[in-house]
Amino acid sequence: MAQYETMEAGGVPVKAWIKGVPFEPEAQMQLGNISRLPIVHSHIAAMPDVHMGKGATVGSVIATKGAIIPAAVGVDIGCGMMAMRTSLTADDLPESLAGLRSDIEAAVPHGGVGIKGGWKDGIPNSVSNRFRSTGLDVALEKIEEKHPAISGANHVVHLGSLGSGNHFIEVCLDEDNRVWVMLHSGSRGIGNRIGTYFISEAKESLIKKGIGLPDKDLSWFEESDPLFDDYIEALLWAQDFARHNREVMMDRVLNVMRNSLPTFKIEKAAVNCHHNYVAKEHHYGADVWLTRKGAVSAREGELGIIPGSMGARSYIVRGKGNEESFCSCSHGAGRALSRTKAKKKFSLEDHRKATEGVECRKDSGVIDETPAAYKDIDAVMAAQTDLVEIVHTLKQIVCVKG
C-alpha cells in the first residue's frame, strides 16, 4: 500500500511522504511550480522533511530529461553526512565531555565566513597534500580557466572545515552504547561560488530564449546549451570536494579521540552520503538527471544517514529501493520554523532544556538550530517506513556547531 499522498498542481504529480508531519503551503506552492516545468519527468517525490527552499523545495527529488536546474541543487553542492562506529563504549568516555568538545573545536575550523571559517593560521600539510594528490587542484584550475568568475574562492583553505548553520560534528551513542562519530558539511566557499555563478548564468540563458517562469530560480540548462557540460564538470568537482571535506574532518576528529580516549578501532565502514546533488540515473523508462535537494539515495540495501537535531535521535538506515521515491529518503528532520521565527519564538532557557545531557553550545548564537525549530524526527521516520529500515539509532552526547 502506497504511503505517500498525491498532489496535483497542473503538471506532473507530486508524491509526498508527509503523513503525520507538517506540509507548509509555501512548500506546496514551490513543488507545484516545479511540477509544471516542461523538463520534469514522471513525477516529483517530496520527502517527509520537506520545507520551503530557494526556488526548489528542500526535501524534494526531481527527475529532469535533458536538462538540470542549478538552483535546485543549490549553492551547498554535495552537502551531506558521514558516520563511523568505533569500538569504544560509553564506559570509555570521561565523566565530563567538555574537554572533548573543546579539542574537536580546536582541531576542525568551524563557523565564520571566508578565511575565518577555514585554516586561518596556515593549511596543514596533510590537507594541502590531499588537495594535490586527489587531483582536485588541477581539475579546479581547468574549470577556473574557462570561468574566471569562479576564481578566488576559498577551496583548500576550506578543505576540512565545518561551516555554520545546520552543519555539525557529533559524538553519539547507539542502542548498544557504542560510540559513533557523525558529521554534516558540504563544499563550503568554493561550492557556493560555483553554484551562485551557474545559477546566474542559467537565468540569463532562459531570458535570452524568452522563456518565462513563475520563479527565476527554476531556470535550467539544457544539454544542448554551451554551459551545460561546464556546469556538470564544476558540479561533479564540487561534489567530490565535499566528500573529501567530510573525510578530512572525520580523520581529524578521530585523531582527537585517539589522543584523549582509550585505544579503539573503527568497527564499520564509513557511511559517506550526499544529500544535495545530481546523479545520472534511470527511472520510469528514461535516463534522467536526478536532483536530490535535501534527500538521500536509498537504493535497496544502500546505507544512509538521517540526522535529527541538536537534542534528538539520528538514524543509520538501509534503503528499500522504493521506485516511487526515485529510491530516495529524507535527509533529516526538516525545518518546522525559519531561522528568524525560531530566534523570536524560543528562549535560551528553552534551548538549554531541549539540549539537556548534550555537551554543546547553549548560547543565543544557536537558537535558530534548537531542536524545536525542526520537525519531530520520529514522525519523519514513521512517514517513510516504506523507503528505509532503521539499522542503528544514535543519540548525540557531544555536538559541535559553527
Active centre residues (catalytic): 331
Beta bridge partners of 283: 286
The rounded distance, in Å, linking the Cα atoms of 39 and 56 is: 14
Count Cα neighbours of 86 within 13 Å in the Cβ-side half-sphere.
25
- Given a contact cutoff of 8 angstroms between Cβ atoms, the answer to whether 82 and 183 are in contact is yes
As a residue count, the chain comes to 402
C-alpha cell at 357: 545531557
Give the cell for residue 27.
512548500
3-state helix, strand, coil in the chain (%, to 5): 35, 25, 35
The burial class, CB within 10 Å (0-12 / 13-18 / 19+), for 215 is middle
User: Which helix (H) or strand (E) element contains residue 276?
Assistant: strand 276-283
Maximum Cα–Cα distance across the chain: 65
